[in-house]
Structure 1
């Protein structure tokens, strides 16, 4: 699928009744050009019939955490055991939720499987996702408080420390997931985050077939995957999470080789400002990061996963998936929030083009 065809698909997902003339006006191209692109999309099976019915299996399921983010950022170098002047912001967050929201803003039909409390935070998160066309009908609502995540950033906007109150995620258990079997198994891709309990992850891998993409989340949580690597189509980890999964502690390529030898299909290892690696049995690709002024590092990894998943969803080459992932991450790094409201397909394509 070409970049222009992706833009057309995004418009069709928002409004299946849109005319070719309206598409041409929105994208500043000719109507005949729109007709050619739509014919190509129909030939390739992305559109069914004349009324722009999109192929029903074209959606991504995301199973993972959702929480209210509280981020405190210090104006100056952090002084331990003291009050540090800065600012505090509240926003919807959670690895699964952020990936889900980013994909929805790229025009991907997305179903979110998660758990929220009955408090105001839970209602806010659910309503916000619904407003960007995420299917929230599979979110479990239970009595109690919605998970919260507290992060403290230093004057360079890097995380100094964080506290994660995610106990409610334990409600995403075998019994709950059993009821979501059809939703997950019918997805083109299923994205998981390791906030899920190991038992829940194991149940999914062994009992519900899907093409699983997994975000490692943290060094403590990624180790839940050690016994399930052969079930994972794609794993996204940073260098510290990758090291937590292996006996090798220094050489990135040897770490990847060990994980692939244990049955993992493919992975990306992100190296912060240095760049990112992609590894599979067939390929090794390294992309350097572009220097930029970082406003906020929180959510950049989630955006990376969303960008890569968007590429896989649209059957792009691995190299293009990596370009999309890194461009997606840069958008968040330059934003004040982990999942910016102005994140969209046009912005992503512009970031890819300007790299």
Structure 2
């Protein structure tokens, strides 16, 4: 079954300003529409490591939804547990400046309820042979609750990602049950009610080592954009993973690719530092194109141990 990913599919509509972006002006540029969504991105990124993940999620019951399923299937993602429903996908509208950073965005989240039905009907079948579980922790609470119940039943490790930290802070009880939680420094600030905007990576690593113990989170990684990522666990291990130097085109999808690499690394035999290295390499490859496409790798390139 590979890694099972539970999350959303979005259609991303992106506008890129050609000249310097003027917040309240008319900006000339280009517009692209691509498949997105945290869960969908992670599943595709894991598939690009030739690991054949399984995706549990929803798409629209139309040609666009069918196109999403076909593309994931071409990437060797198991799509058997995807459902086609009206309004099954979300939409994200974003504007980017000349540095590839988002300067404005609006999103419409889909109805997650049908995912709960999938887990109730097929959960045992999905989880019993899974290598691990990756979930958007800010999805509906009943879905998260069912996921951790099934994971405990079949003794599977759960890795958590986030797209809305304001919702995720209400999931602290579940964060304590995750094998590893990954978020960015702004999201970590929301979780721990602190401001990390002026914190260096070395300082952040030491702080994180203290915070995970207080919060009883087994392992946690915080990405810091161009400064790399920091990691810490309950055993007192912590450190900094430097970034790779690349020409940035579009930063969206970088966090999803990083999480995919971390999840794959920890699932298949790597420690926190090594898994951060895999995530860094994947995210660096993604931000070099406006399509946020992760190139294909072989598991052997990262020394992943597959059964």
Q: What's the TM-score, normalizing by structure 1?
A: 0.76
Q: Secondary structure at the match of 1:273?
A: helix
The aligned counterpart of 1:219 is 165
Q: Superposition RMSD on alpha carbons, in Å?
A: 2.2
Which deviates further from its counterpart, 252-261 or 91-100?
A: 252-261
Q: Which has the higher contact order (CA 8 A, sep 6+)?
A: 2
The aligned counterpart of 1:297 is 251
The aligned counterpart of 1:268 is 221
Q: Can you give the 5+ residue segments of structure 2 that lack an aligned partner in the other structure?
A: 303-307
Note the C-alpha offset of 1:178: 1.5
Matched, 1:335 2:285: no
Note the C-alpha offset of 1:346: 5.3
Matched, 1:317 2:271: yes
Matched, 1:234 2:154: no
Q: Which has the larger radius of gyration?
A: 1
Q: Secondary structure at the match of 2:112?
A: helix
- Cα distance in 1 between the residues matched to 2:13 and 2:278: 28
Note the C-alpha offset of 1:123: 1.0
Matches within 5 A, 1:191-210: 191-209=134-152, 210=156
Using a 3 Å threshold, how does the CA distance of structure 1 residues 348 and 262 change in structure 2: closer, same or farther?
same
The superposition leaves residues 114-168 of structure 1 with CA deviations (integer Å, 9 ceiling, x where unpaired) of: 0111122211111111111111110122134632221211111101122221223
Matches within 5 A, 1:24-103: 59-103=2-46
The aligned counterpart of 1:344 is 296
- Cα distance in 2 between the residues matched to 1:248 and 1:69: 31
The aligned counterpart of 2:81 is 138
Q: Can you give the 5+ residue segments of structure 1 that lack an aligned partner in the other structure?
A: 1-56, 351-355
Q: Is the 8 A contact 1:222 1:244 kept in 2?
A: no
The aligned counterpart of 2:118 is 176
The superposition leaves residues 24-70 of structure 1 with CA deviations (integer Å, 9 ceiling, x where unpaired) of: xxxxxxxxxxxxxxxxxxxxxxxxxxxxxxxxx6x110000012111
Q: Is the 8 A contact 2:8 2:58 kept in 1?
A: yes
- Cα distance in 2 between the residues matched to 1:348 and 1:82: 49
Matched, 1:247 2:190: no
Q: Is the 8 A contact 1:170 1:196 kept in 2?
A: no
The aligned counterpart of 1:281 is 234
